[in-house]
Amino acid sequence: METLRRIIQSQDQIPLAAVKPIDQGFLKYRAQCLKASQAALRHPAHRRASPVSGAPLSPAGDVEGIPYGCCPDTGGFFMLELPAPERWREVLVETSGLRRSPETLHAELAQSRTDTVYAPKLEWIGETLRLHGMRQPLMLEAVTEPSSFRTLLKESALCSDVIPVDETKLIAQRVPGGPFQAAVLLESLDRVSDPAGLVRGVAAHLEEGGLLFVTALVSSGLDFSILGLNSLYLFPPDRTNCFSLQGLRRLLQRSGFDLVEESTPGALDVQIVREHLQRDPALPRSVFERQLLEMNDEGQAALQAFLQQWGLSSFARIVAKRRKVIA
Amino acid sequence: MRCLIFGYGYMGKIRYQVLREHPHVSGIKIVDPALDAAARAGLEGVWLAPTEPIPWDWCDAAFICTPNNVTAELCAEALRRCGRVFCEKPPGRNWEDFCRITDAAAAAPSATLMFGFNHRFHPSIEAAKALIGDGGLGEILYLKGTYGKSGGARYRENWRSNPEIAGGGILLDQGIHMLDLFHLFLGELSVVDAVLADSFWGCGLEDNAFLLLRSERGIPTFLHSSATLWKHTFRIEIGCRDGYLIATGLLSKTGSYGREQLVIGRRQFEDQAQALGNPREEIIHFDRDESWGREVHEFLAAAKQGRPAAHGTLDDARRVMQVIRDVYSLGERRPAAGRR
């Protein structure tokens, strides 16, 4: 199976402010997410093992008092405490609603986010389906409702239909209408308490040779590598898990998938780090990092292009193919 | 299947490696009387001494990886004796050689014959093929290809630079791959004009060829094939109604052609993009070349199933050899600008 590394190099400079600004709305959303998570963690169960390798997670620090661990084999940040799955689902439902609230997250950026976040994802899915000779597959979307993307997917006519399924329950469910030829997990693996179970659940619902589209924010990219747990974008439940690219790869491979494409087409790493440093100049950074981030716009654009090209941006996309089951 | 490889040079070695790893291949023998002791190391039991007869009765498939001057003769004999033949490009030194192969193939209608045009199997080319037309970029408006190498310090000593052995220069040796890709995208092509030059190496063969071609539907196509590209280059530009594709670089053993990639650009006018004429591009990088393996796999599958190969057919070979014949004919009519 060929491995494609697809990157986006664009003359369009996407400003952070057009996608996910660290503004009052975002900070309010973040605070509410943290509050909901902290409330759910009053009776936590401990998560000691890496969802990638099973190795014991080593303590990495905390986000507003919520402890995170690190996978010793593949990196990545994972919440060390999690409540019962049903309780975590309630948090996801609650915060998913917040994400659509005009008072909190980016309501004024709806069109801009459609253009810069969703449209490229649609194009990616459409192009990949064409490259694999797949016409109008029946698609599964694992999600915590509501889903803005499903409407766009349906309107695009890329799929014969898109069937939603609760991302926290897929492992235990038999989804009517399947098996599916394609499935999409847009940052679902970042949120759910059992990412390995979610991938196994998707595998169980996909035909052999079916395609799985995954997007995730990855710890191996530049901004998380520099900022670590100081990143304001790293908080539960949105980042219950923050895999490294290598970790995602391994998770999918050991769950019955072959990788056919992986890329990090993120356009915001450098801007994110700069934004954080402007907000908090006391954040630790090395001399080398300082030099990188003090480059002029041309240099920073070149750095971002380099990150895209070599899998080092913090936004990752993966296409994996359901492996044939050998009896 | 038991496979016989004729010629253990650059291509013979590649085929040997691929066949060794192929699950359907049970035996390999190599026929190359020119092999010295060093080259034979590790081939005990595989390499046939010059005194040994060619084991036609033993072999299920023959791979012709020889210099051009013996290709046609061997290919014709293998078609007669074995019936399953994989022949490296070019299919002979010239049109006459190719016709000998055609005649032999006509006399063996149930034979499986495939020519080595592996570039069709390169991932950037397959992706490009999937994206044109209904794939989203619309019909092709034009094609432009550059394929060239620097030759190297011992270029003149190589049999490829000997007119008697090679029969043609860089166009026949390497440009033929790009011509095959042009045919893959556009079908039959005819020669509008061509300029050949032996400008540096002075071997009596063209080291640069500039071809202007046209498809049956009138789509213009341009090829520069060169042995004086000091920076090794593979580049094919495909202009389409709704965008463009640029495939560059080739996953090769040395990596000298650069990382294989495909640029995908979509037509954007000023109502869709801030900068007119500078559209958003997507680049796919390819990190694995399975073209050799897939090409051989297709041949062995076709041979096993007794069907024609899906690629590298006699008709594919005819198309490129016709163009090359016509280009050389033009060159000979214009010696000042053509071959020496």
pLDDT tens digit sequence for B282-301: 888 888 888 999 999 999 99
Neighbours of B162 (CB within 10 A): 17
DSSP lists the bridge partners of residue B112 as B84
Instruction: Report the percent of chain A where pLDDT is more than 70.
Output: 93
Q: Which of residues 101-140 of B touch A (CB under 8 A)?
A: 123, 127, 130-131, 135-136
Average pLDDT over residues B171-192: 98
Average pLDDT over residues A241-254: 96
Provide the residue type at A78 as one letter: F
Report how far residue A322's alpha carbon sits from residue A309's, in angstroms, rounded to the nearest whole number: 26
What is the overall mean pLDDT for chain A? Answer: 89
Structure confidence at residue A103 (pLDDT): 64
The answer to whether B65 and B8 are in contact (CB under 8 A) is yes
Instruction: Report the percent of chain B where pLDDT is more than 70.
Output: 96
What are the backbone angles phi and psi of residue B286, rounded to the nearest 5°?
-115, 130
Residue of B nearest to A310 (CA): B285
**Does some domain include residue B302?**
no
Instruction: Report the percent of chain B where pLDDT is more than 90.
Output: 80
- Cis bond before residue A146 (omega within 30° of 0): yes
Please name the member of A2, A131, A133 whose beta carbon is closest to the beta carbon of B288: A2
Among A39-53, A259-273, B147-161, B265-279, name the one with the lowest average pLDDT: B265-279
Would you place residue B83 in the very low, low, confident or very high pLDDT band (cuts 50, 70, 90)?
very high
Scanning chain A, the segments in alpha helix (DSSP H) are 16-19, 24-40, 85-99, 110-113, 119-131, 148-156, 188-191, 195-205, 222-227, 245-253, 269-279, 287-293, 297-309
**Does some domain include residue B252?**
yes
Which residues on chain A are in Cβ contact (under 8 Å) with B123?
2, 4
Residues B87 and B139 in one domain: no
* Assigned fold of A4-19+110-322: Rossmann fold (3.40.50)
- Widest CA span in chain A: 58
Q: How far is A20 from chain B (nearest CA, A)?
A: 21
Q: Which of residues 95-124 of A touch B (CB under 8 A)?
A: 123
pLDDT at residue A326 tops 60: no
Q: Does B199 touch chain A (CB under 8 A)?
A: no
The answer to whether A99 and A147 are in contact (CB under 8 A) is no
pLDDT at residue A115 tops 50: yes
Residues B82 and B123 in one domain: no
Q: Which of A270, A279, A263 is nearest to A14 (CA)?
A: A270
Which residues on chain A are in Cβ contact (under 8 Å) with B265?
none
Average pLDDT over residues B219-248: 97
Average pLDDT over residues B241-267: 91
Report how far residue A240's alpha carbon sits from residue A219's, in angstroms, rounded to the nearest whole number: 12
Report how far residue A69's alpha carbon sits from residue A76's, in angstroms, rounded to the nearest whole number: 8
Provide the residue type at A34 as one letter: L
Element counts in chain A: helices (H) and strands (E): 13, 13
Scanning chain B, the segments in alpha helix (DSSP H) are 10-20, 37-40, 68-81, 95-107, 123-131, 163-166, 170, 176-186, 291-305, 314-333
Inter-helix orientation angle A24-40/A85-99, to 10°? 160
DSSP helix/strand/coil, A21: coil
Q: Regarding predicted confidence, which is higher, B45 or A172?
A: B45
Residues B9 and B101 in one domain: yes
Residues B102 and B211 in one domain: no
Q: Regarding predicted confidence, which is higher, A6 or A162?
A: A162
Supply the CATH number for residue B204's domain: 3.30.360.10
**Does some domain include residue B316?**
no
Residues B222 and B268 in one domain: yes
Would you place residue B140 in the very low, low, confident or very high pLDDT band (cuts 50, 70, 90)?
very high
Residues B36 and B148 in one domain: no
Structure confidence at residue B338 (pLDDT): 45
Q: Does A12 touch chain B (CB under 8 A)?
A: yes
> In this structure, which long-range contacts are made by residues B151-155, counting pairs with CB atoms below 8 Å and at least 24 apart in sequence?
B151/B200, B151/B201, B151/B207, B151/B227, B151/B228, B155/B201, B155/B203, B155/B227
Structure confidence at residue A312 (pLDDT): 94
Average pLDDT over residues B297-313: 95
Residues B153 and B175 in one domain: yes
C-alpha distances in angstroms, A30 versus A85, A90, A108, A167? Answer: 21, 17, 17, 21
Residue B237's contacts (CB-CB under 8 Å, 6 or more residues apart) are B142, B143, B144, B145, B244, B245, B246
| Residues recorded for chain A | 327
Residues B212 and B261 in one domain: yes
**Mean pLDDT: which of A13-22, A174-183, A313-322 is highest?**
A313-322
User: Which tokens sit at B14?
Assistant: 């590649």
C-alpha distances in angstroms, B305 versus A171, B78, B114, B313? Answer: 42, 18, 14, 16
Q: Does A32 touch chain B (CB under 8 A)?
A: no
**Does some domain include residue B298?**
no
Q: Regarding predicted confidence, which is higher, B23 or B41?
A: B23
Structure confidence at residue A3 (pLDDT): 58
Per-residue pLDDT of A11-56, as tens digits, reads: 566 888 887 888 888 899 999 999 999 999 998 888 889 999 999 9
pLDDT at residue A327 tops 60: no
pLDDT at residue B332 tops 80: no
Q: Does B14 touch chain A (CB under 8 A)?
A: no
> In this structure, which long-range contacts are made by residues B211-217, counting pairs with CB atoms below 8 Å and at least 24 apart in sequence?
B211/B171, B211/B175, B211/B179, B211/B323, B211/B327, B213/B182, B213/B189, B213/B323, B214/B189, B214/B190, B215/B186, B215/B187, B215/B188, B215/B189, B216/B187, B216/B188, B216/B189, B216/B190, B217/B186, B217/B187
The question of ipTM being above 0.85 is answered as: no
pLDDT at residue A102 tops 90: no
Residues B78 and B172 in one domain: no
pLDDT at residue B106 tops 60: yes
pLDDT at residue A181 tops 60: yes
**Does some domain include residue B338?**
no
Q: Which of B118, B149, B179 is the last residue of a domain?
A: B118
Per-residue pLDDT of A196-237, as tens digits, reads: 999 999 999 999 999 999 999 999 999 999 999 999 999 999
DSSP state of B200: S
Would you place residue B191 in the very low, low, confident or very high pLDDT band (cuts 50, 70, 90)?
very high
The answer to whether the Cβ–Cβ distance between A2 and B123 falls below 8 Å is yes
Domain ranges (residues) in chain A: 4-19+110-322
Residues B56 and B199 in one domain: no
What is the overall mean pLDDT for chain B? Answer: 92
Structure confidence at residue B335 (pLDDT): 53
**Centroid of chain to Cα A320:** 15
Structural domain count of chain B: 2
Neighbours of A274 (CB within 10 A): 15
Residues B282 and B177 in one domain: yes
DSSP state of A56: B
Report how far residue A73's alpha carbon sits from residue A68's, in angstroms, rounded to the nearest whole number: 16
Would you place residue B255 in the very low, low, confident or very high pLDDT band (cuts 50, 70, 90)?
confident
Per-residue pLDDT of A57-88, as tens digits, reads: 999 999 999 999 999 999 999 999 999 999 99
Average pLDDT over residues B131-145: 94
Which residues on chain A are in Cβ contact (under 8 Å) with B285?
4-7, 309
Q: Which of B61, B88, B118 is the last residue of a domain?
A: B118
Residue B326's domain comprises 119-293+321-332
Q: Which of B118, B142, B166 is the last residue of a domain?
A: B118
The answer to whether the Cβ–Cβ distance between A6 and B282 falls below 8 Å is yes
pLDDT at residue A1 tops 50: no
Q: Regarding predicted confidence, which is higher, A245 or A169?
A: A245
Would you place residue B272 in the very low, low, confident or very high pLDDT band (cuts 50, 70, 90)?
low
**Strands lying side by side in the sheet with B47-48:** B47-48, B27-31, B2-6, B61-64, B84-88, B112-116
pLDDT at residue A162 tops 50: yes
Residue of B nearest to A308 (CA): B283
Report how far residue B25's alpha carbon sits from residue B46's, in angstroms, rounded to the nearest whole number: 13
pLDDT at residue A253 tops 80: yes
**Mean pLDDT: which of A30-44, A290-304, B31-45, B312-326 is highest?**
B312-326
Residues B124 and B44 in one domain: no
User: Which tokens sit at B178?
Assistant: 């790009």
- Widest CA span in chain B: 74
DSSP lists the bridge partners of residue B72 as none
Please name the member of B131, B286, B287 whose beta carbon is closest to the beta carbon of A130: B131
